[in-house]
């Protein structure tokens, strides 16, 4: 087995153990048992339980940033389509089972040394930076009305998250279905464009998608 495959197997086993036992009760021995490797093998990849957990967080963060970056890389001639691509990617990642588990674990670890600050926010801060920059460009191009782009980005994220955040923080539901993602995308963007679209903008297409979902 390749070294990268062993590493991936360890990370997958660790995520399962953390999800079942929580960070404090989980042990490196539990992870060894789950993955079927010796402690020596496990420690040759990750020096501690904390390092293993933070590697899971780092990977999830990068996956999320990769998912949304392409949708916000530059101003787009079709703003509705660009925002819909962002919304779908953001929702699919943010409410995936992996991120749901890690988010709950990070909440339980808040304030502990090594887990403070914005380094372990699963990419939320950097996503806000990218989204704010994108919306600023769309305002400059006249495709959105002039407003505080940071506040607009916060409003858009809140519209996308509002229906699901509490449920995914306190429960363990499956990943959002494509139909749920489409419905949330359509309804959220319809409200967002009603607030931030230029005068005379229409949201009929988005509203129609919401009704169908």
Q: How many Å apart are CA 175 and CA 93, to the nearest integer? A: 9
Q: Please say if the pLDDT value at position 204 is more than 50.
A: no
Same domain, yes or no: 42 and 74: no
pTM: predicted TM-score of the whole model, two decimal places: 0.85
Q: How many Å apart are CA 54 and CA 112, to the nearest integer? A: 13
Same domain, yes or no: 59 and 97: yes
Same domain, yes or no: 178 and 194: yes
CATH code at position 3: 1.10.10.60
Domain count, the chain: 2
Same domain, yes or no: 43 and 78: no
The answer to whether the Cα torsion of 121, 169, 173, 24 is positive or negative is: positive
Lowest-confidence region among 54-58, 110-114, 143-147, 153-157: 110-114
Same domain, yes or no: 115 and 190: yes
Domain that residue 198 falls in: 54-212
CATH code at position 138: 1.10.357.10
Kindly calculate the radius of gyration of the chain based on its CA atoms and give it in whole angstroms.
20
Q: Are 152 and 196 in contact (CB under 8 A)?
A: yes
Same domain, yes or no: 100 and 4: no
Same domain, yes or no: 172 and 123: yes
Of 145 and 73, more confident: 145
Same domain, yes or no: 43 and 58: no
Q: Residue 207: pLDDT band by 50, 70, 90 thresholds?
A: very low
Same domain, yes or no: 94 and 194: yes
Same domain, yes or no: 153 and 99: yes
Helix (H/G/I), strand (E/B), else coil: 22: helix
Q: What is the DSSP string of 107-175?
A: HHHTTSTTS-TTTTSTTHHHHHHHHHHHHHHHHHTTSS-S--HHHHHHHHHHHHHTTTHHHHHHS-PPP
Q: How many Å apart are CA 161 and CA 91, to the nearest integer? A: 8
Q: Average pLDDT for residues 165-191, to the nearest whole number?
A: 93
Same domain, yes or no: 112 and 135: yes
Same domain, yes or no: 35 and 58: no
């Amino acid at each position: 087995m390749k070294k990268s495959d062993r590493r991936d197997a360890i990370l997958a086993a660790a995520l399962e153990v953390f999800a079942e036992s929580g960070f404090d009760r989980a042990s490196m021995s539990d992870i060894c048992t789950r993955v079927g490797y010796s402690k020596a093998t496990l420690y040759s990849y990750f020096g501690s339980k904390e390092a293993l957990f933070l590697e899971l967080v780092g990977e999830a963060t990068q996956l999320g940033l990769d998912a949304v970056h392409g949708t916000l890389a530059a101003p787009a001639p079709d703003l509705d389509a660009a925002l819909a691509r962002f919304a779908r990617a953001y929702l699919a990642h943010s409410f995936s089972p992996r991120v749901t588990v890690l988010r709950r674990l990070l909440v339980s670890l808040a304030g502990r040394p090594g887990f403070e600050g914005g380094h372990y926010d699963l990419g939320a801060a950097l996503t806000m930076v990218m989204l704010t920059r994108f919306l600023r460009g769309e305002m400059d191009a006249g495709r959105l009305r002039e407003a505080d782009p940071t506040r607009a980005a916060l409003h858009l994220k809140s519209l996308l998250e509002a229906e699901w955040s509490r449920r995914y923080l306190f429960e363990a539901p499956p990943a959002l279905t494509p139909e749920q993602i489409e419905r949330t995308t359509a309804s959220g963007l319809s409200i967002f464009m009603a607030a931030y679209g230029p005068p005379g903008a229409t949201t009929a297409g988005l509203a129609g998608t919401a009704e169908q979902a």
